[in-house]
Amino acid sequence: MTSLIDQFRRPLRDLRISVTDRCNFRCSYCMPADVFHDEFKFLHHDQILRYEEITRLARIAVGLGVVKLRITGGEPLVRRDLDQLIAQLTSISGVEDIAMTTNGFLLEKMAQPLKDAGLARVTISLDSLDNDVFRRMNGDKADVAPVLAGIRAAEQAGLTPIKVNAVVQRGVNDHTMVDLARFCKDNGYVLRFIEFMDVGTRNGWKLDQVVPAKEIIERIDAALPLERVEGNYYGEVAERHRYRDGGGEIGVIASVTQPFCGTCTRLRLSADGRIYTCLFALRGTSLRDPMRAGATDDELATLFAGVWSKRKDRYSEIRTEETAANKKIEMNYIGG
């Protein structure tokens, strides 16, 4: 297979596919309700890639070295018949792993169809088990209970190991971290705490709202003793720790305080068919337009390869509060 590398010799391995820019939540750190209000202009139906188009681009990316696909958004489950996309993606030979990141609100009903279509695993975002804290963080859109029902349905369907993502914001939910850790530990879910990032331009990010990964681990360790696990593959983003009593593991994604750009192998495909080489990219390259204008697979592969081979992104390594205020693409648009 072609070995495609970027300017820092990083191979292309992962494709994160955003299937919609819409979401049923309004998390303050991602799609704050005052910006993403009722009149906000989301992408129009015709602008969004059809499942066949996504599958075609994914197949071409796999031909260039991609082995992992992750479905994200916006909220992927607000897009209708998502299991049909999963079934199409599963048919691509060479894909080693298909996963999805979801807020879990609509997962209870969809878990089994997704599993049947070939989805391997899900990551559910749940920032706190405290209902008031959770509602405050998701823009007053949802209680904890339906998300827990979604997690249980995913577990029953065999979308395992279940991973839970929690963004930590100082003074907002950091006092509930230990409860969430205990809950995940007791249920055998792998919890990943994520440092609050300056994605997009609309979440009013400030460095003092970030709880550094080191502090997160110290606070969990004080209640539930931990030991470090060495990373197990190139490009792994989470720093992993295991409970000393053998009760599973927990991780931290320290994109702010310990950036991992050096091994970043991820390419992002937005809902409207642009590719972005970094979560913090300023612009993307449309593959939808050439595709709809009749480009062949080879021509599209050349476009993919051209974008990756020029890639120099290392945003998290050079971040400051000033760069954080720069114009960047919004997270709901290209996926986390």
Q: Please list every residue from 155 through 184 that binds ligand SF4, using CB under 6 A.
A: none
Among 203, 209, 265, 270, binds ligand SAM (CB under 6 A): 203
CA–CA dist 38, 57 (Å, integer) = 32
3-class DSSP assignment, residue 233: coil
Rounded least distance, CB 216 to ligand SAM, Å: 13
Q: Which one of ligand SF4, ligand SAM, none is in contact with 147 (Cβ closer than 5 to 8 A by kind)? A: none
Residue 107 phi/psi, 5-degree rounding, is: -80, -25
Q: What is the DSSP string of 58-118?
A: HHHHHHTT--EEEEESS-GGGSTTHHHHHHHHHTSTT--EEEEEE-STTHHHHHHHHHHHT
Q: Which one of ligand SF4, ligand SAM, none is in contact with 315 (Cβ closer than 5 to 8 A by kind)? A: ligand SF4
Instruction: Based on the shown chain and the rule CB under 6 A, indicate whether residue 194 belongs to the binding site for ligand SAM.
Output: yes
Instruction: Based on the shown chain and the rule CB under 6 A, indicate whether residue 335 belongs to the binding site for ligand SAM.
Output: yes
Instruction: Draw the binding track, 252-291, toward ligand SF4 (x: CB under 6 A; -: no contact).
Output: ---x---xxx--x-x-----------xxx-----------
Q: Which is nearer to ligand SAM, 105 or 291 (CB)?
A: 105
Among 56, 202, 314, 328, binds ligand SF4 (CB under 6 A): 314
Q: Please list every residue from 111 through 150 that binds ligand SAM, using CB under 6 A.
A: 125
Q: Which one of ligand SF4, ligand SAM, none is in contact with 335 (Cβ closer than 5 to 8 A by kind)? A: ligand SAM
Alpha helices in the chain, H assignment, sequence order:
51-63, 82-90, 107-117, 131-137, 144-157, 177-187, 213-223, 288-292, 297-309, 321-324, 331-334
Instruction: Based on the shown chain and the rule CB under 6 A, indicate whether residue 197 belongs to the binding site for ligand SAM.
Output: yes
Lateral strand order in the sheet of 249-253: 226-229, 239-243, 249-253, 190-195, 163-168, 121-125, 97-102, 68-72, 14-18, 266-269, 274-276, 285-286
Are the C-beta atoms of 307 and 275 separated by less than 8 Å?
A: yes
CA–CA dist 13, 26 (Å, integer) = 30
Please classify residue 192 by burial: count the beta carbons closer than 10 Å to its beta carbon, then call 0-12 exposed, 13-18 middle and 19+ buried.
buried
Closest residue by Cα to residue 168 from 230, 250, 252, 102: 252
Among 25, 189, 193, 196, binds ligand SF4 (CB under 6 A): 25
Are the C-beta atoms of 90 and 115 separated by less than 8 Å?
A: no
Give me 184's structure tokens.
């995940």
Number of residues that bind ligand SAM (CB under 6 A): 21
Rounded least distance, CB 310 to ligand SAM, Å: 26
Rounded least distance, CB 27 to ligand SAM, Å: 6
CA–CA dist 86, 51 (Å, integer) = 9
Interface segment toward ligand SAM; rule CB under 6 A; list 108-116, 173-181, 190-198, 286-294: 190-198
Tracing tokens 């970094």 back to the chain, one arrives at: 278
Q: Which is nearer to ligand SAM, 66 or 197 (CB)?
A: 197
Rounded least distance, CB 301 to ligand SAM, Å: 27
Binding residues for ligand SF4, rule: CB under 6 A, are 23, 25-27, 30-31, 73-75, 103, 125, 255, 259-261, 264, 266, 278-280, 313-316, 332
Binding residues for ligand SAM, rule: CB under 6 A, are 23, 29-30, 72-73, 75, 101-103, 125, 165, 167, 194, 196-197, 199, 203, 331-332, 335-336
